[in-house]
Amino acid sequence: MEFSLVDQLSRLLGSSAVSTGNRYEIDGLTPEAVVRPVDRLQLSEVLRWASSEQVSILTRGGGTRSSLGNVPRTADVVLDMRAFNQLVDYQPADMTATVEAGLTLSSMQQHLARGGEFVPLESAQAERSTVGGILSVGAGGPLSHTYGLPREWLIGIGVMTTQGISTKAGGKVVKNVTGYDLNKLYTGSFGTLGVILEASFKLLPRDPRAGALMASFPTVAASIAAGRKLLDTSAAPLGLHCASSGVARWVQDSVPAASKDLGLGDEETALCLSYFSGRAKATKRRMDEATALLISEGANAVQRIEDDDARGMLRWITDVPTDINLGSNLVIKVSVRSKSAAPVSAECADITVLGQGPGQLTDPGFGSIRLFWPESKDGSTCASGEDQAVLDGIQKVRRIAHQYQGSAVVEHCPLGAKRQIDVWGDSPDSLKVMQALKKRFDPDDILNPGRFLGGI
Please give the residues from 398 up to 437 whose contact with another protein meets the rule CB under 8 A. Answer: 405-407, 409, 424-425, 427-434, 436-437
Identify which of residues 257 and 437 has a Cβ nearer to another protein in the complex. 437
Shortest separation between residue 288's beta carbon and another protein, angstroms: 11
Distance CA 161, CA 57 (A): 12
CA 348 to chain CA centroid, nearest Å: 21
Identify which of residues 264 and 401 has a Cβ nearer to another protein in the complex. 401
Identify which of residues 128 and 151 has a Cβ nearer to another protein in the complex. 151
CA 400 to chain CA centroid, nearest Å: 22
Identify which of residues 266 and 444 has a Cβ nearer to another protein in the complex. 444
Identify which of residues 192 and 356 has a Cβ nearer to another protein in the complex. 192
Shortest separation between residue 246's beta carbon and another protein, angstroms: 24
Shortest separation between residue 221's beta carbon and another protein, angstroms: 17
Shortest separation between residue 50's beta carbon and another protein, angstroms: 18
Within 10 angstroms of residue 114's Cβ, the number of other Cβ atoms is: 9
Among 11, 23, 73, 337, binds another protein (CB under 8 A): 337
Considering only residues 167 to 226 of the shown chain, the ones binding another protein according to CB under 8 A are 167-169, 171-185, 187-189, 193-194, 204-206, 208
Residue 18: what are its φ and ψ, rounded to 5°? Answer: -130, 140
Residue 394: what are its φ and ψ, rounded to 5°? Answer: -60, -45
- Residue 355, C-beta contacts closer than 8 angstroms, at least 6 positions apart: none
Within 10 angstroms of residue 180's Cβ, the number of other Cβ atoms is: 10
Shortest separation between residue 453's beta carbon and another protein, angstroms: 4
Identify which of residues 68 and 264 has a Cβ nearer to another protein in the complex. 68
Shortest separation between residue 160's beta carbon and another protein, angstroms: 10
Distance CA 229, CA 368 (A): 17
Helix (H) or strand (E) holding 321: none
Identify which of residues 193 and 394 has a Cβ nearer to another protein in the complex. 193
Among 250, 366, 372, 373, binds another protein (CB under 8 A): 366
Of 213, 207, 208, 206, the closest CA to residue 309 belongs to 213
Identify which of residues 74 and 407 has a Cβ nearer to another protein in the complex. 407
Collapsing DSSP states into helix, strand and coil, what is residue 159?
strand
Shortest separation between residue 374's beta carbon and another protein, angstroms: 25
- Is residue 298 at the binding interface for another protein, with CB under 8 A as the rule? no
Within 10 angstroms of residue 33's Cβ, the number of other Cβ atoms is: 21
DSSP 81: -
Considering only residues 103 to 122 of the shown chain, the ones binding another protein according to CB under 8 A are 116
Distance CA 377, CA 12 (A): 45
Establish how many alpha carbons lie within 13 A of residue 208's alpha carbon, considering only the half-sphere containing its beta carbon.
Answer: 6
Among 335, 345, 356, 448, binds another protein (CB under 8 A): 335
Shortest separation between residue 11's beta carbon and another protein, angstroms: 27
Shortest separation between residue 310's beta carbon and another protein, angstroms: 18
Shortest separation between residue 319's beta carbon and another protein, angstroms: 19
Among 60, 286, 398, 412, binds another protein (CB under 8 A): 286
Stretch that binds another protein, among 41-49, 304-312, 318-326, 446-454 (CB under 8 A): 446-454
Note whether 262 and 189 are within 8 A (CB).
Answer: no
Number of helices (H), then strands (E), belonging to the chain: the values are 14, 19
Shortest separation between residue 111's beta carbon and another protein, angstroms: 17
Shortest separation between residue 410's beta carbon and another protein, angstroms: 11
First CA to last CA across the chain, in angstroms? 33
Binding mask 256-275 for another protein (x = CB under 8 A): --------------------
DSSP 323: -
Considering only residues 129 to 158 of the shown chain, the ones binding another protein according to CB under 8 A are 138-140, 144, 148-149, 151-152
Identify which of residues 14 and 148 has a Cβ nearer to another protein in the complex. 148
Q: How far is CA 101 from CA 9, 132, 157, 198, 373, in A?
A: 22, 4, 10, 5, 33
Collapsing DSSP states into helix, strand and coil, what is residue 239?
strand
- DSSP string computed for 403-433: HTT-EEEEEE--HHHHTTS-TT-SPPTTHHH
Of 64, 116, 109, the closest CA to residue 93 belongs to 116
Identify which of residues 252 and 407 has a Cβ nearer to another protein in the complex. 407
Identify which of residues 144 and 223 has a Cβ nearer to another protein in the complex. 144
Of 392, 323, 391, 394, the closest CA to residue 361 belongs to 323
Considering only residues 18 to 77 of the shown chain, the ones binding another protein according to CB under 8 A are none
Considering only residues 68 to 97 of the shown chain, the ones binding another protein according to CB under 8 A are 91, 93-96
Identify which of residues 379 and 455 has a Cβ nearer to another protein in the complex. 455
Of 139, 118, 149, the closest CA to residue 311 belongs to 118
Number of residues that bind another protein (CB under 8 A): 85
Distance CA 238, CA 46 (A): 43
